[in-house]
């Protein structure tokens, strides 16, 4: 399988990831089928979530491997298996994140807990439909997490390569959960302007930067037998690019097109997300606008007119502009770290292209 480093996220790459997920999921479908048709709704949700997506984590992993190992030798299929497994971990986090945030929509359809809630209610089953939906979403997220680990363990790869990658895989799994805890605490603990940005960036580091860029690219490089100096540099590269990725995500959550993002714009306001862009607004807005914005944050009943007002405050205060500047700065810093490393030209080019895809996206 030869993929194009000039188009590291093109249709061929996404098809390759989907093919490996489909191959693995077929074995898991056989396991679920042992229960008859009882777990068909679970399988329906698995299919919904594993179809599509940005594939950004598998891409950083795969091209991290090429950057370390070079493009001369054909990468073994197991590299793509391990890269694709990272999307199962990501999907696990999305299912749990939507439940924690009480979100209604994911990828243009109902969030998992809402799907299972409706499934229970429509059939008139016993008990509370909301409780059933929440419980089923917890289990679905756990199942996807377990499958992400199984997909790695079943990859046919030499012991030394997997031994090198395992510490980064283990760290990634723990760090994303630590990030979820940090996010939960940051959202609910009273915040003051002095520590808002520091806390927001700590959440961003663990919940996004490490598990979106740093760890995937380090996992790929470890599979390519990269040395410690390369790994350290890639970690710094990923930290900055991951921050830029998350800040773009925050902007899209407020200003993005729901038809493209798959989620309603403004949900971050209703969910009370204490993001970097909100921190900029509270620092730079007038006292009355800052108070108005804080009053909307975390209120699930805010109207579309309120969301429009929040957007005005974010724009007029200069928070949007400050966030855009921060995205450019973080991405550029990450690029500087990348260019200091002795990596293959193909891998370096692909990673550069991935940076642009991560920070210039519309979804």
DSSP conformation letters of 282-351: HHHS-HHHHHHHHHHTT-TT--HHHHHHHHHHHHHTTHHHHHHHHHHHHHHHHHHHHHTS---HHHHHHH
Q: pTM value? A: 0.94
Among residues 70, 74, 85, the alpha carbon closest in space to that of 28 is found at 85
SS (H, E, C) 33-92: HCCCCCCHHHHHHHHHHHCCCCCHHHHHHHHHHHHHHCCCCCCCHHHHHHHHHHHHHHHH
CB atoms within 10 A of CB 181: 12
Q: Confidence class of residue 74 from pLDDT cuts 50, 70 and 90? A: low
The answer to whether 173 and 88 have CB atoms below 8 angstroms apart is no
Among residues 330, 334, 58, 356, the alpha carbon closest in space to that of 215 is found at 58
Give the orientation angle of helix 77-101 with respect to helix 112-122, to 10 degrees. 70
pLDDT of 187-211, one tens digit each? 888 766 668 888 899 999 998 999 9
Q: Confidence class of residue 91 from pLDDT cuts 50, 70 and 90? A: very high
| Inter-CA distances, 258 with 39, 45, 137, 264, 267, Å | 31, 21, 23, 5, 11
pLDDT of 261-291, one tens digit each? 777 778 889 988 899 999 999 999 999 999 9
From CA 25, how far away is CA 144, in angstroms rounded? 10
Biggest CA–CA distance in the chain, Å, is 62
The answer to whether 224 and 64 have CB atoms below 8 angstroms apart is yes
From CA 72, how far away is CA 86, in angstroms rounded? 25
Listed by start position, the domains of the chain span 11-359
From CA 151, how far away is CA 148, in angstroms rounded? 5
Structure tokens at 281: 């607004």
Structure tokens at 342: 């002795």
pLDDT reported for residue 83: 97
We find that the CATH architecture of domain 11-359 is: Orthogonal Bundle (1.10)
The residues that bridge with 106 in the sheet, in sequence order, are 109
pLDDT of 318-360, one tens digit each? 999 999 999 999 999 999 999 999 999 999 999 999 999 999 9
The yes-or-no verdict on residue 250 having pLDDT over 90 is yes
pLDDT reported for residue 232: 97
Q: Assign 26 to helix, strand or coil.
A: helix
From CA 60, how far away is CA 8, in angstroms rounded? 9
pLDDT reported for residue 266: 84
Query: How close are the terminal C-alpha atoms of the chain, in Å?
Result: 28
pLDDT reported for residue 172: 96
From CA 250, how far away is CA 252, in angstroms rounded? 5
């Amino acid at each position: 399988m030869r993929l194009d480093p000039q188009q590291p996220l093109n249709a061929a790459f996404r098809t390759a990831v989907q093919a490996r997920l489909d191959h693995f999921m077929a074995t898991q479908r056989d396991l679920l089928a042992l229960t008859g048709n009882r777990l068909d709704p679970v399988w329906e949700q698995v299919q919904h979530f594993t179809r599509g997506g940005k594939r950004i984590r598998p891409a950083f992993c795969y091209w991290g491997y090429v950057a370390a190992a070079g493009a001369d030798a054909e990468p073994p299929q197991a590299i793509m298996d391990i890269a694709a497994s990272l999307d199962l971990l990501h999907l696990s986090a999305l299912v749990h994140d939507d439940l924690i945030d009480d979100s209604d929509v994911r990828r243009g359809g109902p969030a998992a807990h809402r799907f299972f809630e409706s499934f229970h209610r429509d059939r008139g089953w016993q008990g509370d439909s909301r409780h059933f939906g929440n419980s089923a979403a917890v289990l679905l997220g756990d199942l996807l997490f377990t499958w992400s680990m199984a997909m790695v363990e079943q990859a046919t790869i030499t012991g030394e390569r997997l031994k090198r990658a395992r510490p980064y895989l283990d760290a990634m799994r723990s760090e994303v959960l630590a990030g979820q805890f940090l996010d939960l605490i940051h959202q609910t603990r009273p915040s003051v302007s002095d520590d808002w940005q520091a806390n927001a960036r700590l959440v961003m580091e663990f919940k996004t930067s490490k598990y979106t860029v740093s760890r995937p690219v380090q996992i790929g490089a470890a599979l390519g037998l990269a040395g410690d100096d390369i790994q350290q540099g890639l970690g710094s590269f990923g930290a900055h690019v991951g921050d830029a990725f998350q800040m773009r995500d925050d902007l899209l959550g407020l200003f993005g097109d729901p038809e493209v993002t798959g989620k309603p714009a403004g949900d971050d306001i209703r969910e009370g997300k204490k993001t970097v862009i909100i921190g900029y607004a509270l620092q730079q807005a007038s006292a009355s606008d800052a108070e108005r914005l804080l009053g909307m944050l975390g209120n699930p009943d805010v109207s579309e007119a309120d969301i429009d007002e929040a957007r005005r405050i974010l724009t007029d205060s200069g928070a949007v502009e400050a966030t855009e500047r921060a995205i450019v700065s973080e991405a550029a810093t990450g690029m500087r770290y990348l260019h200091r490393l002795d990596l293959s030209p193909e891998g370096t080019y692909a990673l550069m292209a991935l940076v642009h895809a991560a920070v210039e996206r519309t979804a």
